[in-house]
Structures are given as structure tokens and as C-alpha cells.
Chain A
């Protein structure tokens, strides 16, 4: 155990899980990345704004349907929820016990300063459900869209901004480079950490003021930044050697074509978001409660 812990300190890649792609070739995977990007942004916005429990249950059902349609194993998708779960439960508990303005309505349980009301439980359920839906929604997007598609999609969606003189192509390229460089720099970081540890460096453990701790991190951080900048230099030279001249007049190998399925999927998400917002504004939850009770 001890040894495993000591070694895992150097394995940075294990922690970098964003942007995983699961190529199952499903209908969801074949959707236009522009449509998918627009869908995920709309959906996330709708889920963040909505405060309707009923609406969020519908959204959860929609995400689960989407995962099934994308042929992604549910257990795999739920793995993304697991690391966040302790914090979500903590947050939900905090909402139940600490926020006093929730303490209106039917009191279910009371002991000393702690009161649990129906409002508390609903607020906690909302928090939990919202984040599960957000995480599953983002996972569905990353599982079904690869980096190239994401870059092309972003570039296309930002094209209107290009008319205003904003560098859409350049921005999309910078984003792709960032995503592609993370695993590369993670390997580099691992090598630097091992090299410095073999020279007797001890970072992050010892005592001392925060300034001393920062100075102790410098043997890691300075080489990491300098290597990254050096790699950047190499990449610039390689791009120049291949006559890269920026976005102007550039043609693409992959052309994006919107199809009927894309329009249909976008429409479904728009309907869903409208439903989420109307459920919030019309206070559908209160009506459902009074109906059940």
C-alpha cells in the first residue's frame, strides 16, 4: 500500500480523464458536431437555470435515453459521477441542515437547532439531481465527440464572430493544441518529478511558510514551463515549415454537412429546454405536490 501510494504520486495521467471519447459509431456519434455543441450548451444552460424538480427528472430521463442511443454502457457513464458524489452529498446535507431560509413549510424532524423541512429536502434533491444531470450531459457529449470534431464545430459556430474581426480559426486551433498538449505535458511533468525526486527533492510535504513551499515547487514548475515553451517553439517551426498561414483562405479536409437528423435532435433539445424553463416559471412542482398530497 505504502509503495503504491508513493508511486501513484508520479502518475499524473491517471487523474486526467476529461475529453474521453468512446467510438461506438452510433447515431449520436454521427450527428453534426456543430449541432451537438449547440445542443450541449443549450441543455447545460437550461439545467443550470431550472429550479423545477419535475423538469430535472425529465432532463435526467432524456440524458439516459441519449446515453442508450449512443450505445454507451450506463455503468461507464456513471463512473464519471462517482468522484463528485461525496461533495454532492455533503452539499446536499449542508442545504438540509444549515440554510435557515429553507426552514418554512412542514417540519418533518426537529432536534435541538436542527430542523428538517420538506423545503429542505426538495432543495437538496434539486442540487443532487442538477449535478448528476450536468455531469451525465457533459459526459455524453465528450463520449460521442472527438477532438477534431470539437475543433471544427467550435470554429464553425464562431464564424459569425470572425466577420466582426475576431480570430475564430486561431482560437479553435489554440483550444485543440491545449487539449492535445495535456497528456504530453503530463508525461513531461512525471519525468521532471522523478528526476528531481531522484536528486533528493521533496515537494509539497515539508513544513514552512507558503513562500518556502512555493520555492520548493520551483524545481518542478520552472522546468515544466520551460519545456512547454520549448515544445511550443518546435511546434511553431514545424507549422511554419508546412506553410501554415492562419485561417485565411484555408480549405478543410472534412466538410461538415447538416442533415435532417441534426435538425431533429436540435429541435428535441430546444423542446426539452423550453419545458425545463416553463416548468420553472409556471411552478409546476407546487401543483404536482398539491395534487399528490
Chain B
């Protein structure tokens, strides 16, 4: 596209980082960011904009979106917690630090597999980015002594794995729609 050739890539990166950060904030502030699951537990998709931004614009953009996402979950933990565990996120070691790694990990995985198969690369990047979030955040919660390690292991499996699947589905759907990748006739049907 000639349009792209004209555009300064730095400007693009700044703007995409900002806009994806905004989506992350929006998903957190509304109920859209949570997919209800059994027993009142919810799967969060707030970290998906970080993965998508990293895949589209690179690791630095992913890092910045992760920072915005983390800062927002800190503020939300202090101002409008949606559950008792949200309150732990006032600690930046839990809310911000782990989120910085989501983007770079997702980007690395995507770059490694891109040549092989783009659809596969997107799915694995979604899973890897999401698992980075689960493992590091729960790890920090464990280190802070908020929850016993046995319970953390259970949460990692029961919440982390479905979250990774959900993140992979959304990453694939959004990036494929944006880049116009052919993926059969399974478009965005209504349920």
C-alpha cells in the first residue's frame, strides 16, 4: 500500500500503543472485559490488546500497552475494585511489573512462527502472551503471600488455561480481520 510508505513508523507505533491501551482500559471499566464462567468466576480478556498491539507493531508497543494496562489495574484496584482480589493490585509489583512481559513474549513467539504459518503463529502468540500474564501475576501474588501456593496452582490451571484459549481465539479473529488473512468462511457469525 502506498499509504503505509508515507507514514512515519514511530508515529504509528505511538498511536497504536495509545489506542490499544484505551481498549484495554475500556474492557476493564465495562463488563466486556470479562467472560462469565461457572461459579461466578470470570475469564479476563483485558490483556488481549497488549498481545494484538505487540503482534501488529512490535515489542516496544506491547511493553507500553502492558504498562498502560498495568497502571489501569492499579488505579482500578484502588478506586473501583470489582472483587476482593482486585485490591491486591494496588501493589505495582503485582499490577504493573508482570504485564510488561506480555507484549515482548507474544511478539517473540509470533516472529518465530510467522514464516511457518501465520494462523498458527497468531494462536500460539495469544496463548503465550496470556500464559505470561497468568504465571507472572499469580507468581507475584504468591511471593507477596496473599494466597497459598497450592491454591495458586489450581487457579493457574482452572483460570489460566481457558484464558489462554480465549486470548488465542480473539487475537486470531481480530488480527486476521485487520490484516485480511484468509481463514475459511468462519466469519463473525452471531450466536
Write the residues of chain A forming the contact surface with B, with a CB cutoff of 8 angstroms: 12, 15-18, 48, 80, 83-84, 87-88, 90-91, 94, 131, 134-135, 138-139, 170-171, 173-182, 184-186, 189, 196, 199-204, 206, 210-226, 228-229, 231-232, 235-237, 239-240, 244-246
Contacts and interface: CB of A to CB of B under 8 A. Distances in A.
A183 B64 CA distance: 20
Contacts of A135: 78-79
Contact of A16 (B21, B23, B29): B29
A83 B35 CA distance: 21
A229 B174 CA distance: 10
B96 interface: no
Contact of B79 (A80, A90, A228): A80
19 contacts: A18-B25, A18-B76, A87-B87, A134-B90, A174-B17, A177-B18, A178-B17, A181-B21, A182-B22, A199-B190, A210-B35, A210-B162, A214-B169, A217-B35, A222-B188, A228-B19, A228-B20, A232-B16, A236-B12
B36 A213 contact: yes
Contacts of B91: 48
A185 B22 contact: yes
B112 to A, nearest CB: 24
Interface stretch (B2-10, B113-121, B128-136): B2-10
Interface of B is mostly: helix
Interface of A is mostly: helix
Interface in B144-182: 162, 165-166, 169-170, 173-174, 177-178
A93 B81 CA distance: 16
B15 A131 contact: no
B149 to A, nearest CB: 17
Interface of B: 3, 6-8, 10-23, 25-26, 29-32, 35-37, 43, 45, 49, 52, 56, 64, 67-68, 72, 75-76, 78-84, 86-87, 90-91, 162, 165-166, 169-170, 173-174, 177-178, 188-191
A178 B21 contact: yes
Contacts, number: 205
Nearest to B16: A232
A184 B170 CA distance: 22
Given A131-B78, A189-B30, A178 B22 contact: yes
Contact of B26 (A185, A199, A215): A185
Given A212-B191, A214-B169, A240 B8 contact: yes
A11 B72 CA distance: 20
A232 B49 CA distance: 14
B190 A204 contact: no
A179 B25 CA distance: 8
A214 B18 CA distance: 25
Nearest to A230: B178
A236 B84 contact: no
B173 A189 contact: no
A84 B79 contact: yes
Contacts of B32: 12, 189, 217, 220-221
B11 A239 contact: yes
B11 A240 contact: yes
Given A134-B90, A178-B21, A214-B170, 7 more contacts: A87-B84, A135-B79, A182-B22, A182-B25, A214-B169, A221-B45, A229-B56
